[in-house]
Amino acid sequence: MPRTRVKICGLTDEAAVAAAVAAGADAIGLVFYSPSPRAITPELAQRLCAKLPPFVSAVGLFVDAEPKTIRATLAAVPLDLLQFHGDEPPEFCASFGRRWIKALRMRPEIDLPSEMERFMTAGAAGVLLDAFDPTRAGGTGQQFDWARIPPEIASQIVLAGGLDSDNVAAAIQQVRPFGVDVSGGVESARGIKDHAKMFAFMQGVRNGDNRR
């Protein structure tokens, strides 16, 4: 049984990066969206990426950013994957010559299979599903109904939205996603990662994998 991959998102300091790596995260998420409490500069992102060992990926998160902003970030930061978390169309996401994923917020009216096909056809490496909040693009700590995810597409998605050490095992058992993404669920306060919570989350992932 394939194990569930894990991205810990919104890291802002070297100690948090070290703890995420020690806990066993496959990827870290770096937020380039100024309204977020987890936003960092390209200069800081460059320093954080320098602390990553081989086989741990750096993912850059953007929300409706200007193309020049994204290109400037790419010139300064060695990102392995781009994550578009706004209303970016497929053509925009595919225009930077990098591997990318698209976050889809689970609005009540979303046609998920159709939206997935729209982005996957354009070259997305996968799709991340997050809770919908009309006022925030992500990192809301809210959970959506996992039953809305058709089983036949689960292996192509990264599951996000309100995950923490208490519910991630159940999420993996029910949805069987390719990966999971956590941010607020491993924080002591908004934007402040809790090292113990990161380790507990990774144990929850392992528990979920063992029960699949």
Q: What are phi and psi of 168, to 5 degrees?
A: -70, -35
Q: Dihedral sign for Cα 169, 141, 194, 63, please.
A: positive
- Quick one: DSSP state of residue 4? P
**Percent of residues, the chain, with pLDDT higher than 90:** 91
Mean pLDDT of 163-170: 97
pLDDT at residue 38 tops 80: yes
Summarised one tens digit per residue, pLDDT across range 60-111 is: 999 999 999 999 999 999 999 999 999 999 999 999 999 999 999 999 999 9
106 contacts 131 by C-beta, under 8 angstroms: yes
186 contacts 197 by C-beta, under 8 angstroms: yes
For residue 185, name the pLDDT band (cuts at 50, 70, 90).
very high
CATH number of 5-211: 3.20.20.70
Please give the structure tokens belonging to residue 162: 């309100």
For residue 173, name the pLDDT band (cuts at 50, 70, 90).
very high
20 contacts 8 by C-beta, under 8 angstroms: yes
pTM for the model stands at: 0.94
Summarised one tens digit per residue, pLDDT across range 130-166 is: 998 766 555 566 799 999 999 999 989 999 999 999 9
Name the amino acid, one letter, at 194.
D
Cα gap 53→189, rounded to integer Å: 27
Cα gap 202→165, rounded to integer Å: 8
Q: Dihedral sign for Cα 54, 187, 10, 153, please.
A: positive
Listed by start position, the domains of the chain span 5-211
Q: What is the pLDDT of residue 211?
A: 84
Q: What is the pLDDT of residue 205?
A: 98
Q: Known catalytic residues? A: 9, 130
Q: What is the pLDDT of residue 136?
A: 59
Report the phi/psi class of residue 196: left, alpha or beta, with left for phi > 0 and alpha for psi in -120 to 50: alpha
Q: What is the pLDDT of residue 1?
A: 64
Exposure of 109 in the CB half-sphere (CA atoms within 13 A): 0
Q: Which residues pair with 179 in a beta bridge?
A: 5, 158
Mean pLDDT of the chain: 94
Return the closest-CA partner of residue 179 out of 151, 160, 153. Answer: 160
Q: What is the pLDDT of residue 140?
A: 61
